[in-house]
Structure 1
Amino acid sequence: MILITGASGLVGSHLAQALVARGVPVRALYRSAVPSFPGAEKVDWVKGDILDVISLEEAMAGVTRVYHCAAVVSFNPKKKKMLQHVNVEGTANVVNACLAADVEKLLFVSSVAALGRIRENVAIDETMNWSEETSNSEYGKTKYFSEMEVWRGMGEGLDAVVVNPVIILGSGDWEKGSSGLFKTAYDEFPWYTEGTGGFVDVQDVVRAMIQIMDSDVSAERFILCADSLSYRSVFTQMAQHFGKRAPHKKVTSFLAALVWRWEAIKARFTGKDPILTKETARTAAAKVRFNNSKLKKFFPSFAYTPVEESIQRICGELKELHNL
């Protein structure tokens, strides 16, 4: 039996689909409502939460492997305590439950944010870690401390591995998460930056996770990145596949500073997450490259899907999903 936390999210739901399709028995946590996706009816759904130690321990009964995908992803300064609570304390609970249940192996889905992604003069690799100088987000900080909980578990005898995905491209609820990038392109958001970042297909993330879990590899971390591209080129490709106008107005550092300040003021009155924050403005302007060679060294047969192919497929899936 395999347990998945965060099965309602982009990675967790695609992972559950892939495992169910292989005939693997899957158990997954849900908090309020059972998620709906192809194959969801074959999942053993258990109501619980990674912050609820009792329900987590009960969900671990008979489980041999755990994929920990649950996390809060936010760059809203007001969600600092929530990020720390769910990402760090929640991961500590998962690690402790795995140790108590004598689980064979844990795979933790971290993020490149935990590596300190504000590094413009060198390609980011797995030897790097978050620091005050190399990271500008509370999210990155909490993912780094979450990893520390996993490494602590390894020190106590837990067999575990960590994956650090870049921006994940996939079809899902485009009102939240990375699928929202596609909605931004569909809505013809006109602005672009000169920044670059890493991108990877959710299907590749899932394939890599399963391959790593099924191997004898332990106590390692792997960056999952198909390619490092400019944000402008990625949004332009999305817009073209939707038949929409591509971004055409350059965002200067001065304009970005004005926008994130205005968004912060607006968020105070609306209660909604700001579209742009000081953190995301800096990230969008940074020119970041990622070294993805380690995964290929450990798994020579693994090949990433070209980002252009991923965008074309996902745009088609979203058109069908949203009747566009």
Structure 2
Amino acid sequence: MILVTGGTGLVGSHLLLKLVQQKQHIRATYRKGSDLERVKTIFSYHSKNSDSLYKAIEWIEADLNDLPNLTLAFDKITTVYHCAAYISFDPSVYKILRDTNIIGTANIVNLCIEKKVQKLCHVSSVATLGYAEDVITEDTHWQGNHNQSVYAISKYGAEMEIWRATQEGIPAIIVNPGVIIGPGFWNRGSGLLFKIISKKQSYFTKGSTGFIGVDDVTQAMVDLMASKIENQRYILVAENLSHREFMTNIANQLGVNPPTKLATKYSLCLALYLDYFQSKLLGKRRRLSKALCQTLTKTYNFSSKKIKKDLKTFEFTPISQVIEQSCQHFF
């Protein structure tokens, strides 16, 4: 039986759809207050039988630090896809990030060891890789916590737990996706960019990064888990694009004017301070941090040669096609 943690997230929900369409026996975890209806919505984008597909999944409420329920979730489990994570770049919530992403992953690893799970797949991020002026590969190592976002630090800590699992005899795969694009989550992550651009956002930053469609992420995960490959990590990036290119593509698909004004370092600093004071005065969740602003102005060039070499038949979907498909479901 397969266990998927974080079944209500962008990657988790699309992974569940792929697995259930393969007639796999699946159990999925969700946190209290999670939107299970959104999973049905995601399923409906791809199938007319969304209700029956959803009902084929065994759901269990289990926070990553809720050991009693998490232990129940591992009953008769042979394979684990660990998708659950907390995403934030707000330094003030580092404790939540640490508790969820590092300690929570440690709990998953401990149960995998205890239950003698056959294979584990962990969804990490390109944020855990080091920086290089030319090309970033799986061998571009982490360069310490200095100038790293709190999110990156927590995900790097999570990866260390996965490597611990491999030392304890659990075969594991780590995937390091770039910015994941997909429909259904318009108020957070990359989906929020669609919403912002739909309101005719006029500013862009000069940096660039790697992008990938969510279906490609889940397909790579399933293919890697079905293979004999183990104890490896893979960058998953379909294309490296400038932020302006990416935002312009979305704007064109939504039929709005693309951004034309470069956000200078001064304007980013101003936005950073405004974001900070809003969080303090109005209690709003911070969307910017110093580390994130630095990331938005850097040029990142990720290589996906390793996944193409090891999975001969795997092909990435062009980002323009991913954006077009996502915009069809935008509201």
**How far apart are the structure 1 equivalents of 2:268 and 2:246?**
20
Deviations 1:25-74 (A, max 9, x none): 11001222561222322210012111111211111111110000000111
Quote the residue 2:325 is aligned against. 313
Quote the residue 2:48 is aligned against. none
Residue type matched to 1:283 in 2? T
Normalised TM-score (structure 1): 0.95
Task: Tell me, yes or no, if structure 1 residue 52 matches structure 2 residue 53.
Answer: no
State the percentage of identical aligned residues.
Answer: 38
Deviations 1:202-234 (A, max 9, x none): 000010000001111001000000010001111
State the shift of 1:7 in Å.
Answer: 0.6
Task: Tell me, yes or no, if structure 1 residue 279 matches structure 2 residue 303.
Answer: no
Residue type matched to 1:20 in 2? V
* Residues 204 and 244, structure 2, Cα contact 8 Å, conserved in 1: yes
Deviations 1:70-127 (A, max 9, x none): 00111011111111110000000000001111110000001111113x43x1211111
User: Aligned residues, how many?
Assistant: 317
* Residues 112 and 223, structure 1, Cα contact 8 Å, conserved in 2: yes
Q: 1:1-324 to 2 correspondence within 5 Å?
A: 1-32=1-32, 33=34, 35-36=36-37, 37=40, 38=43, 39-116=53-130, 118-119=131-132, 121-132=133-144, 136-318=148-330, 322=331
State the shift of 1:198 in Å.
Answer: 0.3
**How far apart are the structure 2 equivalents of 1:302 and 1:94?**
28
Residue type matched to 2:99 in 1? H
* Residues 34 and 45, structure 1, Cα contact 8 Å, conserved in 2: no
Deviations 1:172-202 (A, max 9, x none): 2211122112112112111101110000000
Q: What secondary structure does 2:315 align onto?
A: coil
**How far apart are the structure 1 equivalents of 2:109 and 2:139?**
22
Q: What secondary structure does 1:157 align onto?
A: coil
Deviations 1:234-279 (A, max 9, x none): 1111011111111111111122112111211111112112333212
Q: Which runs of 5+ in 2 are unaligned?
A: 44-52
Q: What secondary structure does 1:168 align onto?
A: strand
**How far apart are the structure 1 equivalents of 2:117 and 2:187?**
35
* Residues 109 and 163, structure 1, Cα contact 8 Å, conserved in 2: yes
* Residues 90 and 287, structure 2, Cα contact 8 Å, conserved in 1: no
| Between 145-154 and 50-59, the greater mean CA deviation after superposition | 50-59
**How far apart are the structure 1 equivalents of 2:72 and 2:26?**
15
Q: What secondary structure does 1:302 align onto?
A: coil
Mark the CA change 1:66 to 1:239 in structure 2 (over 3 Å): closer, same or farther.
Answer: same
Mark the CA change 1:254 to 1:34 in structure 2 (over 3 Å): closer, same or farther.
Answer: closer
Q: What secondary structure does 1:317 align onto?
A: coil
Q: Which runs of 5+ in 1 are unaligned?
A: none
**How far apart are the structure 2 equivalents of 1:134 and 1:297?**
33
**How far apart are the structure 1 equivalents of 2:141 and 2:155?**
10
**How far apart are the structure 1 equivalents of 2:308 and 2:147?**
26
Mark the CA change 1:145 to 1:133 in structure 2 (over 3 Å): closer, same or farther.
Answer: closer
RMSD, aligned α-carbons: 1.3
Residue type matched to 2:56 in 1? K
**How far apart are the structure 2 equivalents of 1:232 and 1:280?**
17
**How far apart are the structure 1 equivalents of 2:248 and 2:324?**
12
**How far apart are the structure 2 equivalents of 1:290 and 1:112?**
8
* Residues 89 and 287, structure 2, Cα contact 8 Å, conserved in 1: no
Mark the CA change 1:12 to 1:124 in structure 2 (over 3 Å): closer, same or farther.
Answer: same
Mark the CA change 1:133 to 1:158 in structure 2 (over 3 Å): closer, same or farther.
Answer: closer
Normalised TM-score (structure 2): 0.93
Residue type matched to 1:24 in 2? Q
Q: What secondary structure does 2:36 align onto?
A: coil
